[in-house]
Structure 1
Amino acid sequence: MSYIIVFVLVFIGGPLAFRALTAAGPSPRAFRRLALFTAICAATGLVLRYAFAPVWGVNILVTGAAMVFIWGGWVGVLAYGAQALRRADRSVPMRRWTAVMGSLGTTVPWFGLASASLMTV
């Protein structure tokens, strides 16, 4: 059941979050917002992971929240990279390709999770 929730979160929520983060044009304000979002997500995920190390892997809430925040940082990095490419090349094909590749990139952690679970069975 938990894999279904993660699957839906990653394959539907990821591309939607990426789209929301890249909806604004590649302006300095958008870059600052993306940098702040990414830093907050990554820092929160890492604090949850290491500050609550004794309950990591035991408490599903702490473990799940940390993983979601770390993944949110990943999505933020992808959005930041897409915006940087869009800033360098403002053409429509660049916008389309960064949208497709960024949306696909948000799903990469799922394959790592699925591969890891196959190796432990």
Structure 2
Amino acid sequence: MGLDTVEIVLRTEELFAITIEDDEAGAVRTVGDFYHLICRKVGVMPLQSPVTSAELPTITHKEAKFLFLSTHTPLPAPVEVLHWSPQSVWDVLVAVFVDQQGLKREEILYSASIAQDLGVD
């Protein structure tokens, strides 16, 4: 796993308040694989062909701290504070790739290979 991949995994763990094991991360090949893994971890049924919303979410450090998502040990966010839906999981995942890799939201496709298509090492 390259540094870019590690940063994406760490940011994802932070925002979704989940833990992704090395073997789980190593099995992810496409954005869709990653999306399904996150959905499973947060307990939502993934969409078959997610479409990115027109406006991506942004979570500032202040908001992350408020939502209990910036701790070194992820805490489950209370459902009344943050309720994940299949669409919000997809949009936040796309936002992570855009933010961490400087990619365009249009490049983040469900079937995109993270290494080959997106150039994430």
Question: Shared topology, TM-score over 0.5?
Answer: no
TM-score, with structure 1 as normaliser: 0.31
Computing the radius of gyration from Cα coordinates, the structure with the larger value is 1
Return the structure number with greater relative CO, CA threshold 8 A, min gap 6.
Answer: 2
Query: Normalising by the residue count of structure 2, what TM-score does the alignment of the two structures yield?
Result: 0.31
More helix as a share of residues = 1
